[in-house]
Chain A
Amino acid sequence: MYILHYAPDTAATIIRLVLEQAGLPYRLALVDKSQRTQDSAAYRRLNPTGLIPVLETPDGPIFETAAILLWLSDRHGLGPAPIAPDRGAFLKWLFFLSNSAHADLRQLFYPDQYVPAMATAGHHALLSARMKRHFALLNQAVLDQPALFAPPSVLTVYVAVLMRWAVLYPAGQIQWFQLADTPDLARHLAALDHLPAAGRVSTAEDLGPAPFSAPRLAPLS
């Protein structure tokens, strides 16, 4: 039994979708961000960096979204195995999603952690331009390597959540990305929305009836 340390509509949602879709037994442990539970000694023992999510496994805790995805993929055969011919392509897109797309999106959403307040606008312009290039490359990858990205590929679940956030955040700022910019990815997002597993996660985390193809913000609780 896995234990997913999560908060709604965070990177933990990516892992939850994969667990749910694969039918793997897990239970949830809520990380209360309003209480900064991720900074508690107990949480830091699981993940010294304090980031969400952590997945507790029989082999100990794993953190870093892409590390968890790769570990689950290898353990449960959810993606190309190490000897498969398309393993290299799978890894390159997984790392690209992590260290380019996800890392840049994080900088875009939390500018105060990276630049002084007076520079937020310029930072937003540079980072959003970079993100648009990342999504364009991913859209091309979907055309070039359809098998790797066919839902419910872990790559597509990962990119779907990043795209959801790109449409919604930073909340209250100028819309910098729309799904029509990447039509081939958008088709996959619509397919994900129809998976019963996605519906269950969306209901549980209040992500709306079509969390990927028509994202909306969760109502304030």
Chain B
Amino acid sequence: MYVLQAVPDFASLIVHLVLEELGQPYRLNILDFDNGDLDSPAHRALNPFGKIPALQTPDGPIFETAAITLWLADRHQTLAPAQTSPDRAKFLSWFFFNNFSIHTGMMNLVHPYRAGGEEIAVQVSQTTRNRLIEELAIFDAMIANDKPHWASTQQPSILTYHLAVMMRWMKAFPYFPKDSIDSVQFPAIHAILCAMESRPAAIRAAGDEGLTGTFFSNPES
């Protein structure tokens, strides 16, 4: 039985969606962010950074969201091309791109003051937004042109779950609402988000965290 250390609508949401899609037994251990649960000794023992998420597995705890989802996909042989698949090389390239570039940019859009303080947050947010739009356009063009099965409207993958939550947060939670990024301007990505938010597994997991409706393609802020 997997146990996921979770805070609603934190990065644990991505792992929660993947666990529900896998259909493997798991339970959530909901932590109270405002009560300082992330700094508790019990959580620190699982994750020395005090970050969310951490997943307890039969092989011990794992942290880093993408490490957890890739571990789950490999262990259960679904939601990502297998280690021996010829599609693995390209999948991994974009999976890591999403983590290295899109995730980093999303964090700067939601917390622009972390790069150099409040006084430059406006500029950081704007610079970050421009960069993210370039990167998302590259991503969107690849999906539209190459139509990889691991980024399609037909079936989910761990990559599309990561991307869907990134797009949700970039739309709903920028520090400056004017810098919100709307998935509509990236048609191939937008179509995937619309398909994923109608999947029963996604609706169940998102619903458990209080998210309803168009929670990926057009979330409420």
Interface, chain A (partner B; CB < 8 A): 47-49, 57, 59-67, 70-71, 74, 81-83, 85-89, 91-92, 94-96, 98-99, 102-103, 107, 113-116, 118-119, 122-123, 126-127, 137, 140
Contacts and interface: CB of A to CB of B under 8 A. Distances in A.
B96 interface: yes
Secondary structure class of chain A's binding surface, majority of residues: helix
Nearest to B58: A85
A88 B47 CA distance: 13
Contacts of B57: 88
Given A91-B64, A95-B67, A116-B123, A49 B101 contact: yes
A113 B130 CA distance: 10
Contact of B64 (A67, A95, A107, A118): A95
B100 A60 contact: no
B3 interface: no
Interface stretch (B21-29, B110-118, B188-196): B110-118
Q: Interface size for chain B: under 10, 10 to 19, 20 to 34, or 35 or more residues?
A: 35 or more
A96 B100 CA distance: 10
Given A114-B124, A127-B115, 4 more contacts: A59-B88, A115-B123, A119-B119, A126-B117
Interface in B101-155: 101, 103-104, 108, 114-117, 119-120, 123-124, 127-128, 131, 135, 138, 141-142
A64 B115 contact: no
Given A66-B96, A114-B108, A82 B64 contact: no
B201 interface: no
B93 interface: yes
A219 to B, nearest CB: 31
B99 A62 contact: no
